[in-house]
A and B are shown apart, each in its own frame.
Chain A
Amino acid sequence: MATKTYLDFEKPIIELENKITELKSMSDVVDISEEIKELEKKIDELRLDIYKNLTRWQRVQIARHPERPQTLDYIENIFEDFIELHGDRYYRDDPAIVGGIALFNKQSIVVIGHQKGRNTKSNLYRNFGMANPEGYRKAHRLMLLAEKFKKPVITFLDTPGAFPGLEAEEHGQAEAIAKNLLLMSGLRVPIIVVIIGEGASGGAIGIGIGDRILMLENAWYSVISPESCSSILWRSWDFKEQAAEALQLTAFDLKKQGIIDEIVPEPIGGAHKNHTEMFKIMKEILTKELQKLINTNPEKLVRKRREKFYKMGVWSEK
């Protein structure tokens, strides 16, 4: 897939790619296929090298890549017969959280996820994936639907945070998130959570309690974004790299901390480089994870889910 947006650390790759294009335009005159092959090999090596040694801040940038697969892309490509269900049944439909019913390998499921846009227009419509209380309440009613008909729930997390707006407060942002946490802690059907891009704070965990927590290799998940953390703790926006390091917010960090269960590998160069491959990986992992959970009895499921979260945290006890 040809990418249109490049990240600054991908510059060496782009320079080589441009060189190839240049050479190709001259190939009518002289035979340079050998040189091109050589260069292409070099690009692959370079990409492997760059992507093997990413800093935390670089991963944050990949997680935000506009061409990265989003919730609706995964839904479209790994589920069948998806029907989107709109609205919280109280006030309105929030386009920053999408949800509905679908089939996954012939199993009926309920799927919910944050939805970002790809360009200015769609981002304005989706509010950049920042949900209002109505989004969390839509998720709430869809989870109850899943429980009523004994269908598993799959959620995709991809948000820069819950929307900090005037109406969001007026309509009870905190209450809406808290109610989801309470419901998900006791929901009597399997819940699989996948952090696909950004997992920022309460806005992310608001649909993020589950039996299995999976996280893409280049996603991030923490209590605050590196930028906001920098502005609060360093009193300047300039320390985002340090903040990203300090927060230890990558999938590898969180696996070590016992906060996520599984790291979902991405194609080399990131999920945005190869959507088809990414969907294939996601489908395989979700199939495997759902199989593990599908026949667990509800009491045991809920007990184990709660115990999993009870264990989270580090303290000393003398």
Chain B
Amino acid sequence: MPWFLRSKENISETQQKEMPDGLWTKCPSCSEMIFKKELEENYFCCIKCNYHYRIGTKEYVDIILDSNTFNETNTNILSSDPLNFVDSKPYKDRLKVTYDSLGINEALTTGTGKINGEMVSFASMNFSFIGGSMGSVVGEKFYRAAKLAMDKKYPLIVITSSGGARMQEAAYSLMQMAKTSAVLSELAESGGIYITILTDPTTGGVTASYGMLGDIILAEPGALIGFAGPRVIEQTIKRKLPPGFQRAEFLLEKGFVDLIVPRNELKSTLTKVIKWFKS
């Protein structure tokens, strides 16, 4: 497309950060030109500055689970539009456009799989699906993944990335904070282990419920993790936030995550934790 026809949306920040088509990609952090194949082999991390690209469930399944062991569950649970919510466009249309363009059915994908031979209940969020927002479907799928972990005595592994609650489901989405926390309290009583991996970005209602409730809380380097978004905080306190604020390293320093784990070490770290739990 010639530059003079290009609309403003096409060069927005979010699109820059997603995986572009073509053979080469420019690192959003250090501007290094990276051969796409090389990036894939490097766990979607910049070979120069180790910037962790935002990736979705499909990529995490490849990185964390043993090959061909993932079985997706709850694929038939879909968002309806209980409030007939219309803002600048109807929620129904928003959902349809998202389904059609992404081929993903919700902001949370659930399933089972193996990590170095050990069965786990696995759930992973998709930030590209309406900002990884938590509505009724995310809550219900999370609930079922936790129940499955309880019934089968599998470790529950959850990868988070979310902008918070899904506004278009209003109070229903708020209640998912309660629903997911309630099932985790049941899982905790049953003695099951729950491990969260916080990735960029994890904010709002997801952080303030199942994100922060892991027995073990891991985070990817540089991930933005918080309750309020940085822009909201800046508007409230009327000054700029210090560099690195709400990043994984900051949370580690303040005592809110157990460990920062680079993507290429996620699987080996999870393996050790599961081994410790089972031995």
Contacts and interface: CB of A to CB of B under 8 A. Distances in A.
Q: Is the A/B pair a real complex?
A: yes
Contact of A257 (B82, B208, B225, B256): B82
Contacts of A253: 171
A222 B178 contact: no
B163 to A, nearest CB: 10
Given A174-B208, A174-B211, A316-B80, A310 B179 contact: yes
Contacts of B14: none
A223 B207 contact: no
B172 A312 contact: yes
Contacts of A171: 254
Given A165-B236, A318-B76, A209 B207 contact: no
B62 to A, nearest CB: 28
A221 B82 CA distance: 17
A158 B170 CA distance: 18
A47 interface: no
A169 B245 contact: yes
The dominant DSSP class at the B interface is: helix
Given A314-B82, A315-B140, A202 B177 contact: yes
Given A169-B246, A174-B226, A222-B170, A313 B78 contact: no
Contacts of B87: 233-234, 243, 246
Contacts of B227: 162, 164, 168-169, 173-174, 177, 202
A259 B183 CA distance: 17
B118 to A, nearest CB: 26
A222 B174 contact: yes
Given A164-B232, A313-B136, A173 B78 contact: no
Interface residues of A, number: 57
Given A310-B179, A315-B140, A223 B205 contact: yes
Which secondary structure dominates where chain A touches chain B?
helix
B226 A169 contact: yes
B22 to A, nearest CB: 31
A29 interface: no
B167 A233 contact: yes
Contact of B86 (A205, A235, A246): A246
A163 B228 CA distance: 8
B207 to A, nearest CB: 4
A130 to B, nearest CB: 9
B171 A259 contact: yes
Contacts of A246: 83, 85-87, 170
A58 interface: no
B151 to A, nearest CB: 15
Interface string A205-235: 1101100000000000111100001001111
Interface string B130-172: 0000011101100100000000000000000000011101111
A169 to B, nearest CB: 5
Contacts of B254: 170-172
B182 A209 contact: yes
13 contacts: A165-B237, A173-B226, A174-B207, A181-B177, A182-B188, A185-B184, A185-B186, A243-B87, A246-B83, A248-B171, A249-B171, A315-B79, A317-B78
